[in-house]
Amino acid sequence: MFPRRASKRLCAGGYLIRPFRATSCEVRLSRFVKRGRCRSFTLLELLIVIGIIAVLMVLIAPAFTSLKSAGDVTSTAYTIKGVLDTARTYAKANNTYTWVGFYEENVASQASPNTDQPPVGRLIMSIVASKDGSNLGADPSSTATGTENWIDPTQLTQVGKLVKIDNIHLPLFSICPNCSGETFDTRPSVQQDPVVGYNASRFGELNASPPNTAPYDTTNNGLTKFPFQYPVGNPAPPRQYAFRRTLRFNPRGECRINSTYDVRKVIEVGLLQTHGTTIPPGTGTGSLISYNGNVAAVQITGFGGSVKIYRR
């Protein structure tokens, strides 16, 4: 072994020490880092970018607002569908009767129940069920008269929570006679009663004067013969809501509007977006009004109990 090579190994603990040589990749990485340091943003450039983003947000904000409104109507339609499905399923699964109540109140105040006028803009729904499996006297064959035959709250149980939805109104939409399509404008028509027209088969304008309110019949002016209250329980708690517009499901899953009507082919709930208590204007008169834009209708069949949503 040559002395010079041996001395190098001894200095390295027995190993040769070779001079460090950077690889081609390391050289390129070093050059890239140096170039990156020279290309950072200046404060002026950052301010310009932030300004552009702010302008774009102002321009597209109305689009997001419209999208939210569309989502609100759709969400409400599916919420109502869920409520009806829950009531029907509970009736069949427990071999009992269930009732779904519809109520509309003023949305301007956060307080609820709210007696402010006009009673528009907040939809409230409740599901109750018979504890003993009977109809608790709320039957079409009953000889009871008037609208104060309250279903005994001590014999009812609450199914789910009270449902409250803001900025929604239940209107009366125009009906397409003899239609049976899949779109909103061609959706299946509800039954036309020879006396009260379509208003015996739908929910809408719950607080309006008869006959432009639904459900409606000439005897009770749209109010069910057998209302129920919220909350329920034993002993009977103080009444917060009086539900006088109702659907009733029997143990077979069939539903009757306002508890005492005949089973209807189709029952409809109309939905319209509001701005607080302001209802968008429609065209037409009476119970046949057309609304442009964002609307929806929820329909449930009387015998099958199937629920379907129609949107424009």
Summarised one tens digit per residue, pLDDT across range 45-57 is 788 888 888 777 6
Give the C-alpha separation, 150 to 235, whole Å.
Answer: 15
Strands 228-230 and 98-106: unpaired
Q: Is residue 38 part of a domain?
A: no
**Number of domains, the chain:** 1
Which regions of the chain are under pLDDT 50?
1-2, 6-17, 20, 29, 32-33, 36, 61, 63-70
pLDDT at residue 30 in the model: 56
Q: Is residue 106 part of a domain?
A: yes
pLDDT at residue 12 in the model: 46
Q: Is residue 27 part of a domain?
A: no
Summarised one tens digit per residue, pLDDT across range 108-140 is 887 889 889 999 999 999 999 999 999 999 998
Q: Is residue 93 part of a domain?
A: yes
Q: Is residue 3 part of a domain?
A: no
Strands (DSSP E) contained in the chain are 98-106, 121-130, 156-158, 163-166, 168-169, 202-203, 228-230, 241-243, 245-249, 255-257, 266-273, 283-285, 288-290, 295-301, 307-311
Give the C-alpha separation, 139 to 261, whole Å.
Answer: 9
Give the domain extent around 226. Answer: 69-311
pLDDT at residue 66 in the model: 38
Q: Is residue 42 part of a domain?
A: no
Give the C-alpha separation, 262 to 205, whole Å.
Answer: 21
pLDDT at residue 94 in the model: 97
User: What's the CA angle centered on 43, arms 39 and 47, to 5 degrees?
Assistant: 120
Predicted model pTM: 0.77
Q: Is residue 23 part of a domain?
A: no
Q: Is residue 30 part of a domain?
A: no
Give the C-alpha separation, 198 to 172, whole Å.
Answer: 10
pLDDT at residue 43 in the model: 80
